[in-house]
Amino acid sequence: MSNTLDRGACVCASAALVDGGPGVRFAVATPAGGEAAFAIRYRGQVYAYLNRCAHRLVELDWEPGQFFDAEGRHLICATHGALYQPATGACLDGPCRGAGLVPITVAERDGAVWLAETPVTVVK
């Protein structure tokens, strides 16, 4: 996967993430290689997850970078409508029930969002 970010890399400028609105797609280096991921802002905090629905392992966004439902309260999978809690990635409703998104540790500082220095661990 081209343009894959490794640990400690800058994901995006803070201003690129709209609270409850558009997020940023990126690719993250994992032991399995580059995997699609995304970052969003929810109630002021930044969160990031692999872009992989817990139901069928497809990407969630219904348009590139659009992960929230119309109310900006939940993350929603474009394929079958699974709903996820933005701050935890836990499935709230739909065919993902009992599962969740794979979190990626990020930090916001100096006007930007950064991947953590720790390796990204992916639970299959």
Is residue 95 part of the contact set for ligand FES (CB under 6 A)? Answer: yes
- Sole window of 20-28, 31-39, 50-58, 108-116 interacting with ligand FES (rule: CB under 6 A): 50-58
- Closer CB to ligand FES, residue 40 or residue 96? 96
- Sole window of 4-12, 31-39, 54-62, 114-122 interacting with ligand FES (rule: CB under 6 A): 54-62
The mark string for 60-89 relative to ligand FES (x by CB under 6 A, - otherwise) is -----------------x-xx-x-------
Q: Could you please report the per-residue DSSP string of the chain?
A: -TTEE-TT-EEEEGGG--BTS--EEEEEEETTEEEEEEEEEETTEEEEEES--TTTS----SBTTB-B-TTSSSEE-TTT--EE-TTT-BEEESTTTT-B--EE-EEEETTEEEE-SSPPP---
Is residue 102 part of the contact set for ligand FES (CB under 6 A)? Answer: no
For residue 79, what are its two tokens? 């394929």
Is residue 105 part of the contact set for ligand FES (CB under 6 A)? Answer: no
Residue from 86, 89, 94, 100 that binds ligand FES (CB under 6 A)?
94
Is residue 43 part of the contact set for ligand FES (CB under 6 A)? Answer: no
The CA distance from 18 to 41, in Å, is 6
